[in-house]
């Protein structure tokens, strides 16, 4: 089938392949873990030696890349990635592929019922925009939010609750035991006739009365809507929702089909061995409620890193391999699922809109070991307070780990908890295991990088009940997926395992997730398991991120594993004082004598307390072995396009001004060199030798064979020729002036200029910055316009995404060999062929910036952005002649790289320059099953020369637990990393196949893991809804936004250059920047208030909620700020309160707001100050500047704003709700 | 023509400063020479002659040790020796003024890499042998340059290697003779076993013979 074949080459599918692992491993000709060149002491210098002579060596080292070289010019990563595919069986595909398109071409879906009711509930605010569909959604959304508000405010006081977990003051509802019941309540709802689920028929039972009451009474006003929600929430089998868009009548009147029916209709589940009793099933409580606290009840003060430290996450507990806990787990595995469990389960009425809090133990998954611990909980929580008797026929194992109440210091308490089964189950000391994560998760609006349940997972397999953090979320019900605040991620800490000996690094904390993150927070133990979960496995790295604190070590010898050259890190284990075991290759190494001395507290014989062993991000000052040549000086060369249109745009003035302002802050020392070249049809050199009265301009007109007119003084020492440089920068905009004779030159000989720049810099290496405005059309490397402007909305031919000439790639490879990086600033208004030009940055590890249609007068927003970006660009840190190597635990292989670099050998990236804004990603495969390993480690080491001529090594280490079941993997996924990696893989796919293919692949990448997840859930739960693990809750939303990103969107007129640059940007951005661009944040800013504000630098920063990216969030009466990462838009509604317009915008009334307005006046009133603190805080959260543009609601430019509302439907793309329905259709 | 300039601490051979090489212009790789220079720095000690010229292939190393700091250049043979040492001395005086008191305390290689700028400038002035200053330098007998020792790079680098070679050989010999002894012992044993076995077999045959045929 042609479709299948199309899917095959998609790089993301590498991990998904159903091929046996051995097959994959066999193809990896070069085992990256063989240390052939690194074994012997003299080859200490290898890392750097390779960096100088990589070109010839690369062919030897990497057979995969060899092929690439033979073929010419393909992106290195892609080739390597494709390789494994060629011999693999076709990927199993499920779902009719044609369905994918059906829904796209469908007419707008009929809205769900009660449109009018919904609109009433909007509380006066009419949606500005939108079809039926969006209005409906808004109704859903607002009503459920209201439900939350009411429900939680009521649920704060249930009498029952006081007898349970001491509720944290921040969010009482969260810790209510109700949710524990809730799932079980819902279980019984399955067999309940539909009429009983109607809100009006809600009954309560016993102790649960308050909760049920809340659910009933707290329903939002429109009764119809409430009804509908209830039905959905009660996990009505998919009669209504499963078959496409629900018709109004259908949903309301749908009778829940018995479970058996759905089981039959779903062939996937017929072979299911384990069918838990239906009464054990839980339905989904309204997730919005448990997930998102009402703003009033939970204004977490832990949102910003500078504020109070958030409670640390529960630490990971690694069981001793032969310890009692794991033994228990094994014992449990053999025990059949206890059917008698319902005995202990109280049976309250199903209530869906309950404000739920603490975790509900879901029934055990098929094939999962079952632990009675949840039964214990059930008892405890229902107030019985007695330990339950052992289940019949089952050796009773009390839940071993006793957890103190959640309010205490979680980390310390978990540390103190011995993982032994000797502890007595104390019903008094509850908030037991399963409750623990929920309390943590509740305090943070979204689970952190390591959900609390993780500790259970590794602690004992027996705990695999779904706790709160693991509970699936039904996206069909979830009206608001987005958290109100951005979660603050904390690195995971590891519990010290005393079994390994006494010399364990005391603080085993992973490095900052912003620096190094893995798509899966638990490592599947084999490739087959990875194929089963169908998630991409990879690392997203931001290695040179600006860090606030970075320990720097100046050691005589850097302690590394003698076999695999891994740097010593917190996750190694010490056998005794001198010997340590490498955590990558498990070789035992001898530590040098000096390693026994602690440099800070001067103790002896405690090597595990040294900084190397306590910090997972650390920087070493490299000794001589790491330098092949003396460290190079900082060399900056600026190439400026001075063709006619470039001069006309006026960028030269901005660039020269910025350079003049920041000459002092250019990173460098006394050796810093600087040079300038300009070019149009000819190349202009500027001689800046000391002693000249003024700069000399030398024009070389032979651009086909360009040469250096003078051997020296084109690159000069900045300090010594400072006056001349300043003089030149002042004169440049004057020299290149349209009024001047001969400046009407419309040619641009970029290729010649780059060649000559390379010649200038070969001796040293450094950074070439190119400012390019017009298409290079003269001399070597000239390109022709390829774009057909009439076909912008349609399918982009793949050829246009690929370079037209290999001139720039060859140039880049040459540059990379000489440690020269080429950075680009594009200012074009016409087609410039970024696809071709960007090659020169891609392979030389450069940086790209794009200011579409920049013009000083006509497009001041981009001009402002340029000047601010230049400030950042010129002053940020820079690393020269660097290489990065990624090491993984034995058995894990690196196979595809994303980013701008040159791949020199299987795991070595050559980066001529490295800057703090460049991100990288790699795809991983599990080549050998990780047998008998409790954890897998990754280490990214970056060797670079600072601008001060120091050679340094920055090392980041991360350690993840290894798990064996799909459910565990799926319940701890790093959504951000997955989205980042998938979009990078999508770009690769677009370039090799087509954009349409990439879209299909991305869509499948959403569906496949959800399908895999569905298989892990008990069968009855999965009907009628899109169930996702909590950690993947946002993935469909983000992926939906990715599909609407300029890189992948279809049907919207997208300039080819915009599309290509978006792709390039996706490839090279670190995850946090990428996500901000993919999914901008929307805030309402006309009613900022102090409530929940955080304090940053003694300023109160208001924290408005993040709104869904939908027109329904936009009101005529408000002002909305859209933060797109690199730009911000402020939309002012027609009926925005006068005070905002007066106090913040400084205009008397709406119609007087300036147009266009690019800056917001700083006025002396509290409202304006508050607004500015907020915007400044947003600006401060990123290293670059995002200019703000004010858009009046009656302006044409508001399309700029509305085009970012990615949750809405466009002519050619689905809305979020449609997307979810589409996903659901594919799942069934 | 001076191709490379390096400054290092004599005590441990830690490089302190160096001037970047212009690989491209001279068209030859200096990596080998650079590695030789690094090895040379490790070999040098306070007992080494403080001025020396070392041949290495077609190139010449000149070095000059002053106050525990070694200044070394790589030059073409055509480059005047006098100029070379004058250049080295000029470097040494300037370097000592700028960084002399900090030399003993640094641990990081190339800590004074900024000195490169000065090196480059000085080099430039010495490059051009026609300048008046250089002509006078060449003509004047600044010091007894002729007496400066000339040796070969291999000799310098191999010094000490011979000793360790000998040591290796000796220990090798010892171990081999030990092995010989063991082998001889083993062989002895085996041959005596063989003899005993033969006798025993003969005896058995004899007994069997007596048992079945004689009786």
DSSP secondary structure of A773-840 = -S---SSTT-------GGGSSSPPPHHHHS-S-SHHHHHHHHHHHTTEEEEEEE--SS---HHHHTHH
Percentage above 70 pLDDT, chain A: 59
Interchain contact, A554 vs B108, CB within 8 Å: yes
Residues A930-935, mean pLDDT to the nearest whole number: 83
Residues A657-665, mean pLDDT to the nearest whole number: 92
Q: Tokens at residue A110, please?
A: 């009929």
Report chain B's C-alpha Rg in angstroms.
33
Q: Are B113 and B137 in contact (CB under 8 A)?
A: no
Interchain contact, A631 vs B23, CB within 8 Å: no
| Angle at alpha carbon of residue B59, lines to B53 and B61, rounded to 5° | 30
Name the stretches of chain B with pLDDT < 50: none
Residue A823: what are its φ and ψ, rounded to 5°?
-105, 145
pLDDT band at A505 (very low <50, low <70, confident <90, very high): low
pTM given for the model = 0.66
Give CA–CA dist A720/A689, Å, rounded.
9
A762 contact residues in B (CB cutoff 8 A): 23-24
Give CA–CA dist A786/A774, Å, rounded.
14
DSSP secondary structure of A224-247 = HHHHHHHHHHTT--TTTTTTSSPP
Give CA–CA dist A197/A825, Å, rounded.
61
Question: H/E/C letters for each residue in A8-19?
Answer: CCCHHHHCCCCC
Residues 6+ apart with CB under 8 A from A1074: A919, A979, A980, A983, A1065, A1066
Query: Any idea which of A525-534, A849-858, A1192-1201, B110-119 has the lowest mean pLDDT?
Result: A1192-1201
C-alpha distances in Å from residue A769, one per residue of A275, A525, A847, A1060 = 64, 45, 9, 20
Give CA–CA dist A391/B108, Å, rounded.
68
Give CA–CA dist A1056/A1064, Å, rounded.
12
| CA nearest to A573, candidates A608, A539, A546, A600 | A608
Interchain contact, A951 vs B21, CB within 8 Å: no
Q: Tokens at residue A1069, please?
A: 């951005």
Cβ-count burial A558-591 (b if 16+ within 10 Å, e if not)? bbbbbbbbbbbbbbbbbeeeeebbbbbbeeebeb
Residue A152: what are its φ and ψ, rounded to 5°?
-70, -30
Give CA–CA dist A801/A786, Å, rounded.
10
A1131, exposed or middle or buried, with CB in 10 Å at 0-12, 13-18, 19+? buried
Residues 6+ apart with CB under 8 A from A925: A14, A15, A24, A28, A84, A527, A530, A537, A892, A893, A895
Interchain contact, B113 vs A949, CB within 8 Å: yes
What pLDDT is attached to residue A514?
A: 87
Does the structure's ipTM exceed the value 0.90? no
Antiparallel, parallel or unpaired: β A673-679 and A716-717: antiparallel
Residue A850: what are its φ and ψ, rounded to 5°?
-140, 125
What pLDDT is attached to residue A808?
A: 92
Antiparallel, parallel or unpaired: β A552-553 and A573-574: unpaired
Query: Is B17 touching A (CB cutoff 8 A)?
Result: yes
Interchain contact, A763 vs B15, CB within 8 Å: no
A671 contact residues in B (CB cutoff 8 A): 113-114, 116-117
Q: Are A523 and A15 in contact (CB under 8 A)?
A: no
A632 contact residues in B (CB cutoff 8 A): 20
Which helix (H) or strand (E) is B123 found in, with range? helix B116-127
Q: Looking at the complex, report in whole angstroms how far the Cα of residue A1069 sits from the nearest Cα belonging to chain B.
A: 33
pLDDT digits (tens, 9 = 90+) for A756-798: 999 888 888 899 999 999 899 888 888 888 887 777 777 778 8
Residues A658-666, mean pLDDT to the nearest whole number: 91
A720 contact residues in B (CB cutoff 8 A): 117
Query: Is B38 touching A (CB cutoff 8 A)?
Result: yes
pLDDT digits (tens, 9 = 90+) for A394-443: 333 333 333 333 333 333 333 333 333 333 333 333 333 333 333 333 33
Query: Is A689 touching B (CB cutoff 8 A)?
Result: no
What pLDDT is attached to residue A54?
A: 37
A742-745 own/partner pairs: CB under 8 Å, 24+ apart? A743/A642, A743/A644, A743/A647, A743/A680, A744/A644, A745/A642, A745/A643, A745/A644, A745/A680, A745/A681, A745/A682
Give CA–CA dist A775/A748, Å, rounded.
7
Interchain contact, A52 vs B31, CB within 8 Å: yes
pLDDT digits (tens, 9 = 90+) for A1087-1108: 887 777 777 777 788 888 888 8
What pLDDT is attached to residue A796?
A: 79
Longest dimension (CA), chain A: 99
Interchain contact, B114 vs A671, CB within 8 Å: yes
What pLDDT is attached to residue A1001?
A: 92
What pLDDT is attached to residue A163?
A: 35
pLDDT band at A84 (very low <50, low <70, confident <90, very high): very low
Query: Any idea which of A51-55, A580-584, A1045-1049, A1060-1064 has the lowest mean pLDDT?
Result: A51-55
Highest average pLDDT, of A364-368, A850-854, B190-194, comes from B190-194
pLDDT band at A293 (very low <50, low <70, confident <90, very high): very low
| Angle at alpha carbon of residue A803, lines to A797 and A806, rounded to 5° | 150
Q: Is A1049 helix (H, G, I), strand (E, B) or coil?
A: coil
Nearest to A670 among B15, B20, B117 (CB): B117
Rounded to the nearest integer, the mean pLDDT of chain A is 67
Which helix (H) or strand (E) is A697 found in, with range? strand A696-700
C-alpha distances in Å from residue A102, one per residue of A107, A248, A681, A712 = 10, 21, 52, 65
What pLDDT is attached to residue A542?
A: 92
Nearest to A763 among B6, B22, B109 (CB): B22
A554 contact residues in B (CB cutoff 8 A): 107-108
Interchain contact, B21 vs A629, CB within 8 Å: yes
Q: Are B78 and B60 in contact (CB under 8 A)?
A: no
pLDDT digits (tens, 9 = 90+) for A443-478: 333 333 333 333 333 333 333 444 555 677 777 777
Give CA–CA dist B5/A690, Å, rounded.
23
Residues A307-323, mean pLDDT to the nearest whole number: 35
Query: Is A711 touching B (CB cutoff 8 A)?
Result: yes
Interchain contact, B114 vs A949, CB within 8 Å: yes
pLDDT digits (tens, 9 = 90+) for A934-972: 888 999 999 999 998 889 999 999 998 888 888 888 888
Residues A844-848, mean pLDDT to the nearest whole number: 90
Give CA–CA dist A834/A1066, Å, rounded.
14
Query: Is B39 touching A (CB cutoff 8 A)?
Result: no
Give CA–CA dist A950/A946, Å, rounded.
5
Give CA–CA dist B119/B127, Å, rounded.
12
What pLDDT is attached to residue A501?
A: 53
A670 contact residues in B (CB cutoff 8 A): 114, 117
Nearest to B108 among A621, A632, A711 (CB): A621
Query: Is B128 touching A (CB cutoff 8 A)?
Result: no
Query: Any idea which of A164-178, A842-856, A880-894 has the lowest mean pLDDT?
Result: A164-178
Q: Residue A452: is the preceding peptide bond cis (ω within 30°)? A: no
Nearest residue on chain A to B37, alpha-carbon basis: A629
Handedness of CA A1011, A1016, A1022, A1028 (dihedral sign): negative
pLDDT band at A678 (very low <50, low <70, confident <90, very high): very high
Query: Is B16 touching A (CB cutoff 8 A)?
Result: no
Interchain contact, A624 vs B38, CB within 8 Å: yes
| CB–CB contacts below 8 A, A to B | 61
Nearest to A624 among B17, B22, B109 (CB): B109
Query: Is A722 touching B (CB cutoff 8 A)?
Result: no
DSSP class of A1052: S
Residues 6+ apart with CB under 8 A from A1175: A1121, A1128, A1160, A1188
Antiparallel, parallel or unpaired: β A683-687 and A696-700: antiparallel
A817 contact residues in B (CB cutoff 8 A): none
Query: Is A951 touching B (CB cutoff 8 A)?
Result: yes
User: Using CB atoms and an 8 Å cut-off, which of residues 226-255 of chain A contact chain B?
Assistant: none
User: Using CB atoms and an 8 Å cut-off, which of residues 762-781 of chain A contact chain B?
Assistant: 762-764
DSSP secondary structure of A1127-1157 = -EEEEE-TT--HHHHHHTS--SSGGGS-SSB
Indicate if the pLDDT at residue A301 is higher than 60. no
Interchain contact, A763 vs B21, CB within 8 Å: yes
Q: Looking at the complex, report in whole angstroms how far the Cα of residue B95 sits from the nearest Cα belonging to chain A.
A: 15
Indicate if the pLDDT at residue A686 is higher than 80. yes
Q: Tokens at residue B134, please?
A: 């250089």
Angle between helices A995-1016 and A1216-1227 (to 10 degrees): 60
Q: Looking at the complex, report in whole angstroms how far the Cα of residue A878 sits from the nearest Cα belonging to chain B.
A: 18
Highest average pLDDT, of A191-200, A1139-1148, B143-152, comes from A1139-1148
Indicate if the pLDDT at residue A318 is higher than 50. no
What pLDDT is attached to residue A494?
A: 62
Give CA–CA dist A750/A772, Å, rounded.
8
Nearest to B109 among A623, A720, A764 (CB): A623
Q: Tokens at residue A861, please?
A: 């927003």
Angle between helices A63-71 and A54-61 (to 10 degrees): 120
Residues 6+ apart with CB under 8 A from A418: none
What pLDDT is attached to residue A655?
A: 92
């Amino acid at each position: 089938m042609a479709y299948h074949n199309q899917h095959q080459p998609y790089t993301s599918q590498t991990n998904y392949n159903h091929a046996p692992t051995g097959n994959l491993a066999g193809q990896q000709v070069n085992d990256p873990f063989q240390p052939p060149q690194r074994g012997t002491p003299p080859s200490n210098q290898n890392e750097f030696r390779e960096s100088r002579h990589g070109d010839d060596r690369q062919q030897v080292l990497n057979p995969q890349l060899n092929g690439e070289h033979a073929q010419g010019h393909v992106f290195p990563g892609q080739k390597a990635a494709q390789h494994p595919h060629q011999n693999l069986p076709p990927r199993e595909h499920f779902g009719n592929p044609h369905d994918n398109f059906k829904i796209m071409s469908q007419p707008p879906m009929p809205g769900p019922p009660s449109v009018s009711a919904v609109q009433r509930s909007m509380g006066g605010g009419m949606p500005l925009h939108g079809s039926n569909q969006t209005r409906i959604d808004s109704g859903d959304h607002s009503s459920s939010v209201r439900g939350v508000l009411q429900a939680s405010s009521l649920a704060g006081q249930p009498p029952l609750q006081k007898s349970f977990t001491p509720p944290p003051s921040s969010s009482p509802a969260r810790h209510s035991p109700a949710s524990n019941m809730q799932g079980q309540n819902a279980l019984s709802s399955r067999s309940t006739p539909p009429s009983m689920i109607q809100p009006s028929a809600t009954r309560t039972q016993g102790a649960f009365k308050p909760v049920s009451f809340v659910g009933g009474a707290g329903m939002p006003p429109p009764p119809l809507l409430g009804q509908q929600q209830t039905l959905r929430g009660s996990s009505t089998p998919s009669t209504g929702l499963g078959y496409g868009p629900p018709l109004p009548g259908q949903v309301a009147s749908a009778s829940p089909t018995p479970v058996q029916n759905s089981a039959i209709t779903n062939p996937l589940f017929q072979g299911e061995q384990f069918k838990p009793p239906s009464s054990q099933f839980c339905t989904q409580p309204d997730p919005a409620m448990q997930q998102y606290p009402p703003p009033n009840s939970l204004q977490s003060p832990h949102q910003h890193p500078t504020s109070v430290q958030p409670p640390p996450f529960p630490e990971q507990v690694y069981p001793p391999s032969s310890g009692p806990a794991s033994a228990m787990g094994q014992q449990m595995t053999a025990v059949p699922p206890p059917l008698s469990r319902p005995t202990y389960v109280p049976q309250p009425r199903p209530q869906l809109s309950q404000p739920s809090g603490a975790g509900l133990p879901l029934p055990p998954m098929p094939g999962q070991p079952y632990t009675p611990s949840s039964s214990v909980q059930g008892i405890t929580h229902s107030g019985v307070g007695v330990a339950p008797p052992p289940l019949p026929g089952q050796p009773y194992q009390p839940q071993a780990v006793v957890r103190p109440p959640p309010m205490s210091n979680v980390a310390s308490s978990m540390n103190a908890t011995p993982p032994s089964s000797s502890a007595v189950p104390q019903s008094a000391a509850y908030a037991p295991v399963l409750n623990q994560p929920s309390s943590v998760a509740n305090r943070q609006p979204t689970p952190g990088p390591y959900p609390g349940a993780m500790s259970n997972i590794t602690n004992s397999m027996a705990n695999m009940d779904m706790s709160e953090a693991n509970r699936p979320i039904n996206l069909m019900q979830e009206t608001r997926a987005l958290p109100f605040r951005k979660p603050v991620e904390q690195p995971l800490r590891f519990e010290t395992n005393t079994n390994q000996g006494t010399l364990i690094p005391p603080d085993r904390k992973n490095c900052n997730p912003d620096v190094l993150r893995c798509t899966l927070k638990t490592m599947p133990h084999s490739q087959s398991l990875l194929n089963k979960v169908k998630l991409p496995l990879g690392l997203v790295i931001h290695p040179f991120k600006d860090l606030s604190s970075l320990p720097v070590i100046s050691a005589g010898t850097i302690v590394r594993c003698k076999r695999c050259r891994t740097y010593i890190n917190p996750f190694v284990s010490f056998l005794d004082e001198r010997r340590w075991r490498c955590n990558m290759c498990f070789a035992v190494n001898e530590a040098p004598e000096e390693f026994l001395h602690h440099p800070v507290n001067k103790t002896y014989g405690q090597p595990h307390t040294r900084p190397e062993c306590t910090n997972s991000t650390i920087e070493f000052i490299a000794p001589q072995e790491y330098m092949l040549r003396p460290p190079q000086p900082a060399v900056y060369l600026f190439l400026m396009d001075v063709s006619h249109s470039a001069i006309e745009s006026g960028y030269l003035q901005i660039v020269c001004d910025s350079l003049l302002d920041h000459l002092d802050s250019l990173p460098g020392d006394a050796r810093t060199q600087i040079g300038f070249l300009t070019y149009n049809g000819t190349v202009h050199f500027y001689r800046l030798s000391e002693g000249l009265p003024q700069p000399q301009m030398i024009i070389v007109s032979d651009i086909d064979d360009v040469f250096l007119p003078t051997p020296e003084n084109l690159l000069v020492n900045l300090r010594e020729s400072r006056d001349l440089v300043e003089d030149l920068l002042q004169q440049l905009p004057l020299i290149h002036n349209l009024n001047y004779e001969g400046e009407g030159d419309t040619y641009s000989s970029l290729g010649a200029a780059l060649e000559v720049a390379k010649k200038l810099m070969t001796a040293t290496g450094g950074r070439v910055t190119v400012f390019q405005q017009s298409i290079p059309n003269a001399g070597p490397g000239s390109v022709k316009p390829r774009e057909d402007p009439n076909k912008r909305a349609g399918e982009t031919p793949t050829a246009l995404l690929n370079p037209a000439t290999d001139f720039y790639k060859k140039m880049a490879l040459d540059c990379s060999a000489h440690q020269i990086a080429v950075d680009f600033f594009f200012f074009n208004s016409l087609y410039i062929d970024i696809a071709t030009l960007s090659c020169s940055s891609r392979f030389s590890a450069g940086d790209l910036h794009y200011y579409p249609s920049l013009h000083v007068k006509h497009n001041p927003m981009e001009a402002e952005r340029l000047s601010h970006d230049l400030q950042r660009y010129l002053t940020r840190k820079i690393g020269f002649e660097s290489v990065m190597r990624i090491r993984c635990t034995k058995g894990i292989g690196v196979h595809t790289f994303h980013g701008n670099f040159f791949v020199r050998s299987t795991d070595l990236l050559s980066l001529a320059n490295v800057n703090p804004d460049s991100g990288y990603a790699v795809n991983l495969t599990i080549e050998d099953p990780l047998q008998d390993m409790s954890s897998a480690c990754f280490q990214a080491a970056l060797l670079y020369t600072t601008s001060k001529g120091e050679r340094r090594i920055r090392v980041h280490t991360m350690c993840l637990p290894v798990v064996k079941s799909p459910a565990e993997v799926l319940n701890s996924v790093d959504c951000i990393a997955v989205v980042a990696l998938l979009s990078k893989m999508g770009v690769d796919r677009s370039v090799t196949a087509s954009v349409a293919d990439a879209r299909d692949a991305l869509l499948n990448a959403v569906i496949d893991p959800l399908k895999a997840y569905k298989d892990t859930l008990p069968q009855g739960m999965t009907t009628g809804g899109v169930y996702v693990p909590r950690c993947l809750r946002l993935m469909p939303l983000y992926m939906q936004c990715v599909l609407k990103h300029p890189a992948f969107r279809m049907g919207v007129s997208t300039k080819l250059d915009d599309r290509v640059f978006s792709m390039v940007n996706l490839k090279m951005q670190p995850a946090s920047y990428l996500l901000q661009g993919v999914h901008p944040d929307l805030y309402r800013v006309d009613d900022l208030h102090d409530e929940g504000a955080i304090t940053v630098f003694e300023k109160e920063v208001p924290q408005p909620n993040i709104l869904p990216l939908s027109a329904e969030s936009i009101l005529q009466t408000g002002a909305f700020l859209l933060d797109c990462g690199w730009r911000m838009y402020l939309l002012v509604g027609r009926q925005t309160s006068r005070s905002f317009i007066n106090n913040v915008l400084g205009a008397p009334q709406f119609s007087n707001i300036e147009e266009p307005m690019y800056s917001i006046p700083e006025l002396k009133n509290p409202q304006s100050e508050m607004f500015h603190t907020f915007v400044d805080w947003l600006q401060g959260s990123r290293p670059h500047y995002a200019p703000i543009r004010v858009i009046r609601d009656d302006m044409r430019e508001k399309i700029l704003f509305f085009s970012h509302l990615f949750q809405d439907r466009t002519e050619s793309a689905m809305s979020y709700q449609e997307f979810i329905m589409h996903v659901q259709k594919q799942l069934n | 023509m001076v191709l490379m300039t390096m400054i290092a601490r004599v005590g441990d051979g830690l490089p302190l400063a160096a001037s970047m090489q212009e690989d491209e212009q001279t068209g030859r790789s200096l990596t080998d020479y650079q590695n030789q220079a690094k090895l040379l720095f490790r070999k040098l000690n306070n007992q080494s002659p403080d001025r020396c010229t070392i041949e290495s292939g077609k190139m010449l190393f000149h070095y000059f040790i002053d106050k525990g700091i070694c200044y070394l250049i790589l030059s073409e043979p055509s480059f005047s020796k006098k100029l070379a040492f004058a250049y080295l001395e000029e470097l040494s005086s300037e370097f000592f003024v700028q960084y002399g008191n900090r030399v003993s305390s640094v641990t990081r290689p190339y800590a004074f890499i900024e000195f490169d700028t000065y090196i480059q400038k000085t080099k430039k002035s010495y490059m051009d042998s026609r300048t008046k200053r250089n002509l006078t330098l060449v003509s004047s007998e600044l010091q007894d340059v002729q007496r400066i020792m000339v040796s070969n790079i291999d000799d310098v680098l191999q010094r000490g290697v011979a000793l360790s070679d000998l040591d290796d050989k000796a220990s090798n010999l010892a171990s081999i003779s030990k092995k010989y002894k063991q082998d001889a012992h083993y062989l002895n044993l085996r041959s005596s076993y063989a003899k005993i076995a033969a006798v025993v077999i003969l005896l058995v045959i004899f007994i069997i013979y007596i048992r079945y045929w004689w009786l």
